[in-house]
Structure 1
């Protein structure tokens, strides 16, 4: 079934299924997936989480009955954590802080997922538990290190999954499996109970079928953890919906800085993705990404490899045979780095960050391909280090420079494989990025992961139930029109552009600002261009207060037969206004 959070909530409320029935079915499906799970919970292990829902009213628990997966370097109480290495295995007494938040909100863990050993890799093949195949074509890599979490989500056996992202592990697998991948601002999702890779850079990431679902998970998970010395408070400006203008600027690398490693499919897909952003109202700006790309090299060519050594020192020094050869080769090099190397790199990084902050401040978002190419498993086996390094070209700099990022699918390539871009900006811009990712998904209208379900705007239903309201506008409040600011300043965002049912007449009413009065006429009505905007309920009262007669708020029928709260007018507007129905659009009337 469709496991988006809104769809699942509707299925529970209607009685179509129950958590008990759903989880039983999902466990059967999950067991058929190849090299996705390191520990799939048994029915007995999962039953306490289902039973606990009886004391958690659905209305008060935003993730009630929602199944999720956990990368196996993140603790789940009573279940072994391996980090992809059997000799490292331990059984935690308590869950990671972020897992505790999700379970408290009603989410149900389904199992622990496969990963590149010690979260070192972007390929999904560096595991003694087997290479995790891509959700669309098993010849291709799934991406790593959060391979199992991505494929479990794409295959529709969980609604979302937790990964980690130090160098791109929450974004590259999202790209390769047609998912949204949220790499939140460092510290907003606690790493208590997470096996460290680079402790100062590590982030818990979220894989989801939609940006709306990623928002819902983020809202629950982004809680300050006083026991995590890297935890950060989420500012009020990054809580709840954040508007992004309909006309926005986005920066891309200069042409000579784009790298596709000979992959013409991905090169073409990125060009088309840029065009999609321009169709949405974006203005492309080409900027010099040199400081970002130079910073990326520091992650594996600089002293941050020493952090990986610190995290695994006992095994590296005392039991190196427990590690995969490629992992040992990478991490053991960290033992040779000096304090002088570290400070030298920190100075270089600070200079790069200062330049980067200026670049980021000059545009609404920055955009790159999430990855420059998509390798087969055989190609990775031929050159495991060099080709893995290629996959980090657009990702390795992100945490070093303290940026927030969202990977979002935009299309399928000419060889029928997923492609996506990463949109990113400064720390604490997570909600802004998720809002834009939501709009990109609406525009692209791709399937959900590797499932049979199509993306639908109904995914916004969860947001509405959480305290927002849809408002239909037809005139001066349309995007780009004179009163649109009254929506955007209230944090409203564009949900849908469509037409009304062909049952209305429109009249231009004079005033300080000329306004349209839309009156229902079943006999000789026409359809009009309309937009549906979603705004916080807390802002709705002040918005309505500013509406002058003869306009008011009522219900308007859309072309598809649904009804939306929106602008209507009293009947006398026809006697004081000019009939402009022939235009079918306030925008066209004003242009005339």
Structure 2
């Protein structure tokens, strides 16, 4: 392991004494060194938040740090950050600006700048960061790392110097998804003392698949720098190799992102640490941004909440037929000189695709997506609804080519019509103990027809001349006894039979009798039942 003192840029604010850097626990993380962003408490060490005037040692470890210590991990030091975790550049620190490990001229990204640099240089296998507006994902993208932003409240923020308490997340930075898994497992726990902590549900929420096979991507061009644009197009090509890609409107996501600093939500930072802004050593850009919240009223705050609720409802539509949303992490990769010339404008643009994740209650993983033509790393992010963290990590592993353990064998049933999520008969599957396994499509050669019955429903037939890209369906995971209970509810001309999926596997599914192949009732051109019903 490269010694922390050998790092050639200000990644660390403080290092722990040698007698403290020892593991005394035989746990799953025994002996693994890690770094801690210096807005997270480590007992006996000041939590500066990037402000040297905060020099009083913490009296206890943050909940997250203690969870890691109890499993044998070894903290070696506190890392640099944009002051009070307000920034996405990594330059707003009196301890010095960090740069990307790939280029001394380009920013490291922030606010978890030091944590990202420490991992990227190989000083530690993992580091803790935070991500309120993208502060873990941006430096991950700029340094070729995996940045995991869990669902809000899944990891306790007790012992974190708050930026926006309702949105703050403690995150991880690693080189691989495999390295992130045991760390996240150690961190996740309900903390009844933390008012923002939320317990993980025993089952995945409705609509969240155990295996993510459908990725949503923007349905139009994005405002990207030319080097980023080329790398983004390559990432879309890679996405099609990892999963089925559908196109969605991302305008609600981008509008929600703008609310974080262009509406009254910025006032939460003023409430959280405004009392520190008049002290010595405060970065003037940070002070100006947070003091700007003075112009908002209580009425503005409620107006922002109402607009966010409207945008959240629109954004939810992206996940109706998709498991995760793919976006670039940033629109470009600025230089330190560009940030110095326009510190607020450049930083604001960096949050275009990240600011909304916590506002919309999404989990996210930033993953490397190759390099730009100039050799700088390019990163994308996968976003999914709250508490989809486990399946999203599996998808991230498939993205990076890492091994994913196969799910346990269960009875799988493919549905394409009335039993789809949100459709009239879906409650039958839920009552029988079913959970969504994956979104998928039929294999080539299938056609879909409307059929008679107690309510509107379609039937699938393999005619051999159906579309090559298949027809939309869902695969549900059911207890074996549920199939027997379901059979009496299936009205002719539908029955259960083998159905081939787009990945070549065969599962049980709802299929129609051959007599249903009536050209007048052929709805194959819609691509799926939902699209037909919407028409």
- Of residues 207, 227, 233, the one that matches 1:265 is 227
Residue 329 of structure 1 is matched in structure 2 by 288
Residue 152 of structure 1 is matched in structure 2 by 118
Contact 1:295 1:397 in 2 (8 A): yes
1:479-515 alpha-carbon deviations (Å, 9 max, x no partner): xxxxxxxxxx9989xxxxxxxxxxxxxxxxxxxxxxx
**CA-CA distance at 1:238 after TM superposition:** 5.3
Residue 220 of structure 1 is matched in structure 2 by 186
3-state SS of paired residue (1:44): helix
Residue 275 of structure 1 is matched in structure 2 by 237
**CA-CA distance at 1:277 after TM superposition:** 1.2
| Runs of 4+ deviating beyond 6 Å | 468-471, 489-492
3-state SS of paired residue (2:21): helix
Residue 255 of structure 1 is matched in structure 2 by 220
Contact 1:306 1:334 in 2 (8 A): yes
3-state SS of paired residue (1:205): strand
What are the equivalent positions in structure 2 for 1:80-229 lying under 5 Å apart?
80-229=46-195
Contact 1:30 1:152 in 2 (8 A): no
**CA-CA distance at 1:337 after TM superposition:** 1.9
The answer to whether the aligner puts 1:37 opposite 2:12 as a matched pair is yes
Residue 263 of structure 2 is matched in structure 1 by 302
Quick one: structure 1 residues 89 and 332, their matched pair in 2 at CA, closer, same or farther if it must change by over 3 Å?
farther
Per the normalisation by structure 1, the TM-score is 0.67
3-state SS of paired residue (1:87): coil
Residue 66 of structure 1 is matched in structure 2 by 32
**CA-CA distance at 1:31 after TM superposition:** 3.5
- What do you get for the CA RMSD once the two structures are aligned? 2.5
Residue 333 of structure 2 is matched in structure 1 by 374
- Of residues 337, 359, 364, the one that matches 2:323 is 364
Task: Give the structure with the larger helix fraction.
Answer: 1
Residue 21 of structure 2 is matched in structure 1 by 46
What are the equivalent positions in structure 2 for 1:284-295 lying under 5 Å apart?
284-295=245-256
3-state SS of paired residue (2:380): strand
Looking at structure 1, the residues matched to 185 and 5 of structure 2 have their Cα atoms a distance apart, in angstroms, of 27
1:20-75 alpha-carbon deviations (Å, 9 max, x no partner): xxxxx54x25443410000122312324xx2x13xx2xxxx211111111000000
Name structure 2 gaps, 5 residues minimum.
Answer: 413-434, 439-476, 481-503, 506-535
- Of residues 428, 438, 442, the one that matches 2:387 is 428
Contact 1:30 1:157 in 2 (8 A): no
Quick one: structure 1 residues 431 and 45, their matched pair in 2 at CA, closer, same or farther if it must change by over 3 Å?
same
Contact 1:124 1:142 in 2 (8 A): yes
Residue 354 of structure 1 is matched in structure 2 by 313
What are the equivalent positions in structure 2 for 1:376-395 lying under 5 Å apart?
376-395=335-354
3-state SS of paired residue (2:140): helix
**CA-CA distance at 1:470 after TM superposition:** 11
1:255-298 alpha-carbon deviations (Å, 9 max, x no partner): 24x111xx211101111111011122x22222111111111111
1:420-465 alpha-carbon deviations (Å, 9 max, x no partner): 11011100011111001001111xxxxxxxxxxxxx75xx7xx7xx
3-state SS of paired residue (2:215): strand
Looking at structure 2, the residues matched to 115 and 392 of structure 1 have their Cα atoms a distance apart, in angstroms, of 16
3-state SS of paired residue (2:367): strand
Name structure 1 gaps, 5 residues minimum.
Answer: 1-24, 443-455, 472-476, 478-488, 493-538, 543-585, 588-592
The answer to whether the aligner puts 1:411 opposite 2:375 as a matched pair is no
